[in-house]
Amino acid sequence: MRALARIDLAAIERNCARLAAVAAPAQLCAVVKADGYGHGAVAAARAAQAGGAAWLAVATADEAGDLRTAGIQGPLLVMGALSAPELTVALRARADVVAWRERFVAELAAHPDADGTGVHVKLDTGMGRLGTRDPREASRTAAAVAAAPRLRLAGAMTHFATADEDAAFAREQLARFADWSRGLRAAHSGVPLHAANSAATLAIPESRLDMVRCGIAVYGMDPFGADPFRHGLRPALELRSYVAEVKRLEPGESVGYGRRFVAAAPTWIGTLPLGYGDGVRRALSNDCDVLVGGRRVPLVGTVSMDNITVDLGPEPPERGAEAILIGAQGSERVPAEEWARRLGTINYEITCGISARVPREYHRDGVAAPP
Ligand X SMILES: Cc1ncc(COP(=O)(O)O)c(C=O)c1O
Closest to ligand X by CB, 26 or 308: 26
Distance of alpha carbon 81 from alpha carbon 79, whole angstroms: 7
Q: Which residues bind ligand X (CB under 6 A)?
A: 31, 79, 159, 197-199, 213-217, 223
Q: Smallest distance, Å, CB 257 to ligand X? A: 35
Instruction: Considering the complex, state which of residue 123 and residue 199 has its C-beta at the smaller distance from ligand X.
Output: 199
Query: DSSP string covering 15-60, please?
Result: HHHHHHHHHTTSEEEEE-HHHHHTT-HHHHHHHHHHTT-SEEEESS
Q: Which is nearer to ligand X, 31 or 56 (CB)?
A: 31
SS3 state of residue 247: strand
**CA distances to 46, 255, 305 from 72, in Å:** 7, 47, 35
348 is catalytic: no
| Shortest Å distance, C-beta 37 to ligand X | 7
Alpha carbon of 126 to those of 30, 239, 306, 330: distances in Å? Answer: 23, 36, 42, 44
Q: Which of 37, 242, 257, 276 is catalytic?
A: 257
Q: Which of 33, 37, 122, 219 is catalytic?
A: 33
Question: Shortest Cβ distance from residue 162 to ligand X (Å)?
Answer: 11
Cβ 26 to ligand X shortest distance, Å: 14
Q: Which residue is nearest to ligand X (CB)?
A: 215
Q: Which residues pair with 78 in a beta bridge?
A: 58, 97
Amino acid of residue 85: P
Which of 219, 276 has the CB closer to ligand X? 219
In sequence order, what E strands does 88-210 have? 96-99, 117-122, 151-157, 193-196
Residue 364 CA to residue 359 CA, distance in Å, equals 17
Query: Annotated catalytic, 33?
Result: yes
Q: Kindly tell me which of 164 and 278 has the beta carbon lying closer to ligand X.
A: 164
Q: Which DSSP state fits 130?
A: S
SS3 (DSSP) at 113: coil
User: Which CB, 31 or 108, lies closer to ligand X?
Assistant: 31
What phi and psi values does residue 254 have, to the nearest 5 degrees?
A: -125, 165
Which of 307, 237, 296 has the alpha carbon at shortest distance from 44?
A: 237
User: Using CA atoms, how far apart are residues 176 and 303, in angstroms rounded to an integer?
Assistant: 47
CB of 213 vs ligand X, minimal distance in Å: 4
Question: Could you tell me the smallest distance in angstroms from the CB atom of residue 215 to ligand X?
Answer: 3
Active site residues: 33, 257
